[in-house]
Amino acid sequence: MRTLLLLTLLILNFVAYAQTPADIAAKPIDQSPWVIYPKTFNSGDEISATVKPTVIDLDGQTVDIYITADRNENEWNADPSLIDVRSTGAQNVMLSGATTEESIVILQNTTELLGISEARPGVAYDLVYDVNQDGLLNDGDLIDGIDRVGFFVVDDMELTGPYGVDSLYYQSEEGYWQTFRLFYPTEIESLEAQPLVVISHGWTHHYWYYDFLGQHLASYGYVVMSHRNDVGNGGALASTTASTSALENIDTLLTIYPELAGGLLDGKIDKNRIVHAGHST
């Protein structure tokens, strides 16, 4: 019984002081709740950090704040060393304040953070409060990012991306509604499988209206499908018919894409990374 009690106390002690996942990357706002925790920041944005006192009370605590390249949980377990990506390194801060608003810290030199990796917009980072200041992610530290990306920084996508763009038109023998335009990077043969963006138009619109968006996103490496959508007269039934035609077009593309463009697209669409965009009927 005594052994079991000691073991229980050891487990509870470990849990209490293990690194804690928390929302940290923050943006102050002018009204309650005074701070939000975005997952995406534009390049050049000011990025702040704060932890809700309900998670842990750090009032009066001195910590080192690290912005690191993103790692998943297995990678952090394999290498818990903290390396700040900013030229000035980790930020030493004495935290003060009994509320979330009062404990906000403005992070230094966040304008240095890259917002594009090769051709892909968006770079992932993790944010760490090194509470024991030993340069390692371990007991008692707080991390925004161990179980998912802490936050992304994204460059301005107004400019055209680095790839040339090709396109094709497809209409299925199965029916009028299985019709789409497909845009993809000219250099796709030399690329790994790319994310797919599906654009579903709404009432009074047409799938050709989105050529500009297909061209633009494909210049960043995405494969983009804009399809004909059965939106009817825009009434209640259109929600069903539009959903059906969208799914049918997606199924058709994912079935026949290895044969499109003379086989050029075979293996070039990542079925695990699909974004569905558009607007209502």
Q: Which spans in the chain are helix H?
A: 2-17, 73-78, 211-218, 236-256
Give the long-range contacts of residues 15-20, CB within 8 A, separation 24 or more: 17/139, 17/140, 18/139, 18/140, 19/137, 19/138, 19/139, 19/140, 19/141, 19/142, 19/143, 19/146, 20/55, 20/56, 20/141, 20/142, 20/143
Q: Which amino acid is at 37?
A: Y
Spell out a b/e string for 56-90, using b for 16 or more CB atoms within 10 Å of the CB, else e. eebeeeebbbbbbebbeeeebeeebebebbbeeeb
CA 265/CA 248 separation, integer angstroms: 19
What pLDDT does 118 receive?
80
Alpha carbon 62 to chain centroid distance?
30
Tens of pLDDT along the chain (281 residues)?
455 444 443 333 333 346 899 999 999 999 988 999 999 999 999 999 999 888 889 999 999 999 999 999 999 999 999 999 999 999 999 999 888 888 999 999 999 999 988 888 899 999 999 999 999 999 999 999 998 999 999 998 888 999 999 999 999 887 888 899 999 999 999 999 999 999 999 988 999 999 999 999 999 999 999 999 998 888 888 889 999 999 999 999 999 999 999 999 999 999 999 999 998 76
CA 103/CA 59 separation, integer angstroms: 8
> CB within 8 A of 120, min separation 6: which ones?
220, 221
The boundaries of every CATH 2.60.40 domain in the chain are 19-154
What pLDDT does 8 receive?
43
CA 172/CA 248 separation, integer angstroms: 11
As a CATH number, domain 19-154 is 2.60.40
Under DSSP, the state recorded for 218 is: H
> Which two three-digit tokens encode residue 177?
């509604």
- Peptide bond just before 33 cis, omega within 30 deg: yes
> Which two three-digit tokens encode residue 98?
């009994």
What pLDDT does 281 receive?
60
Q: What is the CA radius of gyration of the chain?
A: 24
The boundaries of every CATH 3.40.50.1820 domain in the chain are 165-278
What is the CB neighbour count within 10 angstroms for residue 104? Answer: 18
What is the CB neighbour count within 10 angstroms for residue 6? Answer: 10
Of 38, 37, 36, 40, nearest to 122 (Cα)?
40
CA 137/CA 45 separation, integer angstroms: 26
Q: Is 165-278 CATH 3.90.1150.10?
A: no
